[in-house]
Structure 1
Amino acid sequence: MKSAYTAKKLAETTGLNKTTIMRRAQKEAWPHKTEAGNGGKTKHYLLSSLPSDIQKKIAEKSTPTSAEMLPVLAPEAALIALRKLTDFPDTSLAGIRDTRIQTTEHSISEKDLKNKKFTRWVRIIQEAERAPAGWKKRAWIENVALRHEVDWRTIYKKLKKYNSQGLVGLTHRKSTRKTPKVWTPEAVDFWLGMVLKRSHRKISKDSLFKCLKIEAHNRSWQTGSYESALWWLKKRLNPQLLALQKGGLRALDNTLPPILRDYSDLEPFEILVGDQHRFDFWVVDEETGEVFRPECYMWQDLRTRIIYGIAIDRRYDAALMGMALHIGIRCFGAFKNIYTDNGKPENSRYIIGIMKDMRALGLSVEREIDYPIDLNGQDPEEIMPAFVMPGEHRRAIVKNAKAKMIEGTNNVLEGIMRNRFLLPGNVKRLTAPSEHQDIDQKEIESLARSGKLTTYREFVLAMYLAADYYNREKTHRGVLKEWRGQPKPKSATPIQCLEACYLHESWRPVKLSDDAINILFLPRASRKVDRGRITFQGKQYESDALIPFHGNSVDLRYDPVDPDDILVFYQGEFVSSAELVEYSSMKDHELAERKIEEKAKRRKEFSQKYHELTSRVPDFRKYSNVPALEKAAAIVGDERRKKVAAQTELYRQRTPDEMEAEVAALEETTQAAEMQIRKKPLPPRPKYFLSELERHEWCFKYQKAGGELTAEDREWMEMHEAAMPADQREYWEVAREMGL
C-alpha cells in the first residue's frame, strides 16, 4: 500500500476504468502532487484524501506496509488494513526483534513477566545465543541444555520461535485461549450480531436472549446462561461497534482519535475557514419594531487567527459570505485558499461565480471534507484542529474538525460583546433550568416594551468593535503556542502575529484594485433592458448607454449596502453604471420641462444618426413600368393557369419510379426539418476571456455545436492542446470522441 497513486495504478488496483478515475478526480477535486517522469508530468493522488470507497478497494487488494498508514485511512478501509496486519505480519520485520508489530492477542503482559517458567526460558535463550569463542553451536546448546536440565532439541525449537516472534514466542498460550468452552462459537457470534443489529437497538437484551435460545435450539447450538451472555458482550464488544450501531458513521468517527495539525507552517491568509453563526442576542429593528436574532458569516485566518472578514444580516445567505470576503480583502489584502462547507448558499451561482473569477486572478478555492470529532470541553484557543484535504463533499456538521476553532471564536466574540461592551438581550438557554429560562424570557419582553433593547444598528457597531478588539487586544494562546520567532513573548494577539510575519518571515500583503474587488465580490443579477431602463428590486435604474441594448439581457453588479447605482455588463464587458430614475412631477414645472427636454434631446440624437447613415445611400429597388390595368389582368390569368396545372399534376397517376422518388423526397425533407429542430445554436463569442481554460472551453463547445472556428482560434486551440499534460489532453480527446 503506497502513500500516493497515479490514475493508471488506481485503475489497476480498483478494477475501474482509467478515464472514470480521471473524471471523478477532476469533478471531486482530489488533492494531488504533480511529478515529472519519462512520459511527462503525472498526477499522484494522495491515499489519505481518496474517497472511502476507493480506499476500501485498495485495502482489499493490497497489504499495508506499516501500522502508521492506519490513521490516514477511512474507518472501513482501516479495519480491513488492521485485519491484514494482524493476520499477515510484514515479513521484512521478522529479523528485527524490537520492532515487531504486537497486538492484544500477541503481546507480553505483566503476568508473563512474573511467570517463573517464562523468565527461565528467557535466560536459557540468552545464554544459548552467546556461544564462547571456540565452541560450535551444537556443542554449546547441548552444554546449556545439560546445565539447565532440558532437552537440547527443545532449545532449538524455542530459538526458532524467538527468532520469528521475539519474546512472545517464549510464552505458553493455549490454542483454545479466549474461546468459548460451553458456548458454540457460532452461537457467540450470532448473539453479538443480534445485539449489534441496528433494528434491535431498542429491544432489551433479555428479550434478545430468549430469541437466541430458540434459534440455538433450531440450529443445534450450545449456549450458556444469561449472565455468561452478558459477559461475552462485555468481552467482545467495544465502544466503536456500539457507536456505529446507535449513531452510524458520524458516531463512529466521534470515537476515533482526531488528526491534529500545527498551523505555524502556513503563511498569513493562505487558508481561510468560514462559518455562519446565529447570535445569542435579541435586537430590535428601529424601523419596523420587529425583535429578531441577527446572523453573521465570518472568515478567520488559520495562521494568525485574525478575523479576516465578518458580515451581518437578518438571515445568512450567499451574498453575506461574499460581503464578508469583500470586507476582508479591503482590510488585509488577497487570500490564497478558502474552505467552506457544502451548504446551499455555498453552492449558489453567486459563490460559484466568485470562485471562477478568483481562479482567473491566480487565487485558488478548495472545498472541505468534514469529519465529525467530539472535542467538547476543550479550549478552542488551545486546540490545534486539523482539516482533511478536500475530496468528496459532505454536509457540514457541528462537531467539525476544521470549523471547531471558528465556532470557538464565535463564542469568544459573543463573550466580548457581553462582558466588555455590556450588551443586554441574551437568549435563554434551552439546557438551563426552567426557572432560569422564565427569568431570561421575561427580561427580554420587559426590555422590548420599555425600548431598552439594543437596536440592530447599535448591535452591528458593537460587533465590529468586538472583532477589532479580538484582533488587536485579545491574547490568544493558540497563536502563542505556534510562535516561530525568538524571543517568544509572554502573550500574543492575532495582530501581533501578523506583524511578526511581516517583519521576520518576509510576508507581504497582496492588494487588488477596487475595480477587481467589485467584479469579484459584488452580488450578481441578470435583467432585461427596457428602453434604456432596468427594473431591479422594485426600483428602476436608467442610463443613456443602455438605450441601444433595448430587449437584451445584461448582467448587474450591485452593493446591497448602497443600492443607489448599479454596474451593468453585457457579455462580460462593462457598459456603464445605472442610477435611480428621477420621477417627474405634475406640479414641479421645471422638473417636467427638464425631463421633456432630455427625451427630446435623445430623440434628436438618434434621428440625426439615422439621417447621417441613410441620406447618402440611394434606393436600389427596381419599380415596374407596366400599366396598373395590364398588370392586374396578367396576375389574374397567371394565377388561374397555375391552379389548373397544379390540380392536373396532383391527380396524375404516377409510375412506380416516380412514386419512390416522391416518397424519398418527402422523407429527406422531414429528416432535414428534424435536424434543423435538433440543431443547437452556436455559443456567442465573449468579448474577452479571463483565462486560457475559458477560451479553450468556448472553442470546444463551438466546434461541438457544429461551428467552424476561425484560423486564429483553430491554431491557438491546437497549440494549447499540444502544451497540455498527457492525461489532460487525453481527457479532451475522449470528450470530443464521445460528444460530451
Structure 2
Amino acid sequence: MRSWYSPSELAGLPGMPSSVSGLIRLAKRESWECQLRLGQGGGREYAFSVLPKATQTALIAATIVNEPSLQVIEPHNILAGCDAKIASRLNDSQACVMTARLAFVREIERMSQVVSQNRAILTLVALAKNDDLSPYLAERVVRANDRKTESRSLSERTLKRWLADYRAHGETGLAPARRQKDMSVPAWAGEFLKHYQRPQKPSVEAAYEQFKQVHGEVHTSVCPSIHAVRRWLKKLSPSVRERGRMGPHELNALKAYNRRQADMLWPNDVWVADGHTFDAEVINPLTGQIFRPEITMVIDWATRRIVGFSVNLAESTLATLDTLRDGVSRCGMYKIFYVDNGSGFDNSTVYEVNDRLGGTITHSLPYNSQARGVIERPHKTILVRLAKTFDSYIGADMDKEAATKTHKLSRKQLALGIAPTVVPEFAVFFSDLQQALDEYNRRPHRGLPKFRDLQTMRKRHQSPMEAWKSAEAEGWEPLLADANIVESLTRPQVERTVHRCQVQWNSGTYFLKGLDGFHGEQVRVAYDFRDASRVWVHSLEGDLLGEALLDGNASPAMPKTMLEKASEKRERGQLSRLVKKAKTITGQDVEMHVIGSASSPYDLPLEQLAEAQRFAQLSAPQAPTFELPTDPTARYRLWNQLDARLTSGESLNPEETQWHSRYPQHPDFMSIRQMFEFAKQASA
C-alpha cells in the first residue's frame, strides 16, 4: 500500500466523485492533507489516512487483486535483491553516475528530518550555486549531472527528478541510460552473406562488388554503402561471421571448449591413437622409391608416454594392429582405446582384436580433433620437429625454392639409378624416429605434475617416464595380456616367392626349412621393423608356416678346426725361419720360448665363476649412499661438513661434489647462513 494518491487515481472510487475536478473541490472543502507531487507533471497528492473508509477499502481490495501471491518479506530486502540483479548489468560509467546521484538523495533525506523536503532541495541548490557544498558533494556534482560540459550545476527540477526516480525504482533508477548497439539484422544482410560466406574467403570489397552488381547502386535502399556493411560485420561474433568461410572443423577453433583433466587416470586407463603423414620424404625399403611414411602413434593419456608406434605406407588396419601389438607387448593392456572415425580404426578387424584383448574402443565426434589434443600436439612436438632435421622436408613452412631444388635432385638421381643423397634411407629415418620418441618420453612435460629435482633443487614438470615410474611406486602394476594373443596379432605383410626354402625381404635373405614343399609358390611374409633378425611366413590362406631367420642357412666357408690347424702350421713355419735367421746373425744356436697369455678368469667353470662373483659382492665394502636431509637447517650443516672435508683435502663422491657446488645458489643457503652469523655475534 502507498501513503499518497493523486486525484486521477482516486476519481470514480467508492466514496469519491466521478471527475477529477469534483474530487479537487471536495478536498479543498474538507481540507485534506496533501503534498506536491514530484515529477510527472506536478499536481497534488492526498494522504491515504484522510480518505473515506469506503475509498480505503477499495484501494486495499485492488492491491490484493493485483498481487494474489503475498509473501511476508521486508521491503528493503526486496529492493536490495532487485537492485543487486540489475546493478550487475551496469557498466562502470553508469554505476559511477548512480552513486553520485544517490549521495544527493541521501542528503535530502537527512535534511528532511529537520526541514521540509522542498526546503532541503532549495537549500542544496543555493549552496551549489554559491560553491558552498561540502567537498564530498561538490566533487560529485559534475559526475551526477552526466554531461560533457563541467559548467552545469544543480537545479530544483533535477533533484526532484532524481528523488522521484529513486522512490519509484530504487538505486538503479538513478543510473543513466546508455545507447546500446543496434543488433537488428538489416534487410540486405542475407543477400550479402551469400556472397561473403563462401569457402573461397573473398574480401569484404570483393563480396560487396558482387552484391552491388546484383542489387543496384549504393543510393538505393536495398544496397547499403560498404561502410555500413563493415560496421554490421563488426557486430557479429567470429563464429557467426566466418560460418561458410570455414568448415566445421576450423570453426571449432573459434568456439568455447572444455578442458579435460587426467588427474584421476592411472597408466593404461586410456590410450589415444592417431596417424600422421610424415612431412619429409624417405626411401621405401620395399620398392626403393621415394615416399612419405605414415606414422601411427599411441599415447597414454595419464602419463603422456608414447607406448606404441608403427610405420606404414598409409593409415590402415595393419598399421593400427601393429601399433596395438607394439604397445601391449611392451607396456601392458589398456582399458579404453580412444580414436577417431578413420577407416584404419573404424573396421571389424580392429574391433575383433580389441575384443580378444578385452579392451573398450570409443570414437571421438566427427570434425572434433580438439578432443584428442593429447595426441595431436605430439605430432608437432615429435614428428614435425624430426622431419625438419632432414633435407627432404616438404612442410608448409619450407622454402619453396629449396624444396623444388631438393625434389628435382632426388628424382634425377633416382632416374639415373643412384641412391638419392638428399633423401634418407629408411633405416636412418627409423633409427632417428626411435630416438626422438625416446627423448620425448624422458623430457619434462607441461601436462604432468611438478616436483622438486634433487639435482638442481628446483621444481620442474615430470617426464612421461617419471610419471610412469611414480605410478609404479604407488603400487600400480600393468596388466599383461596373454603372450599367445599378442603374438597372433596381425603384422604388416607382403607377398614373396619361395626359392629353395628362402624368401627375400628388405635386402635380406630369410631361411625356413619348413618351406621345402613351397618352392616357386607365393607366400605371405609378416615383418617387424623393430626386429630384422626374423620374419613370419604364412600361407596365402593365413596359416603360420614358421619363423624364417636371417641368413639361417649360412655357414662358414671352411670348418673352424681346419682354419685353426692351418694357422698353427703357419705360426710354426714363421718361428722356424726366425730361429734360423737369429743363428745366422749371432753364429750360435738360439732357443725361442713363447710366453702364453695369462689365463682369463672366464675360463673357469660357470658355477665356480658365479660363486666367486657372489662372494666378491658380499665381501666388498658398500659405498655409502648420499641422502639429502629434508630440513633446511640440516642441509646447511651437511654442506658445512662437506666443505670441511673438501678443505682438508679429502675427496668427495660425484653426488656430494655436485650438490656441494649447487647448494650455495639456493635461497635457503644465504638466509640460514645469515641466521647462524647473527646468532654467533649475539652470543659473543
Q: Which has the larger radius of gyration?
A: 2
- With the length of structure 2 as denominator, give the TM-score of the two structures: 0.48
Using CA pairs below 8 Å that are at least 6 residues apart, which structure has the higher relative contact order?
A: 1
- With the length of structure 1 as denominator, give the TM-score of the two structures: 0.45
